[in-house]
Amino acid sequence: MSRNLPFELINHPGIFVAGIAIRTTNHDGRSQTDIRNLWTKFMSENIAGQIEAKQSDDIYCVYTDYENDHTGWYTAVLGCKISGPNDGDGMFTALVPKGEYRVYKPEGRFPDCVSDTWRQIWQDGNCRSYIADYDLYRAGAESFEKTKTEVYVGFI
């Protein structure tokens, strides 16, 4: 359970992320397929390279527009951080609002460690805001397997 999963509680300033989006659900593993396909499109079409106003090469996957909780429909947005809502170069722009967030640092084999972290968070969904959460994939890893990731979960 996530109670045993270490996290840091932070007061997040809020950010905008521009990129591509898909509406999905965790039901029957659909989100795994949908988000994998979103990643394929993001990488094969060099979406990050099309976001001229991106603030860094870090990649964000924002989960927002929740129907209810992690069992319902939500929107996944894969993109880059931008400075404001009008800097998205015509792409889907998501707002991660300011507020309190739990920050988890997945450990283990990437990318499995990220999905393992989310499964543990889902087991203890108490006090989640279900407004916006996101994964941050740090640029500059020496290999895919060594990608540094942080999971930010909105908290009430």
Amino acid at 50: Q
Residues in the chain: 156
Residue 29 confidence (pLDDT):
87
Low-confidence residues in the chain, pLDDT < 50: 1-3
Q: 19, 41 in Cβ contact below 8 A?
A: no
Q: What are phi and psi of 33, to 5 degrees?
A: -70, -50
Task: Give pLDDT, residue 58.
Answer: 97
pLDDT value of residue 87: 85
User: What was the pLDDT predicted at 1?
Assistant: 38
Specify the pTM.
0.93
pLDDT of residue 18: 97
pLDDT at 145: 86
- Only one residue has tokens 């108490």, namely 126
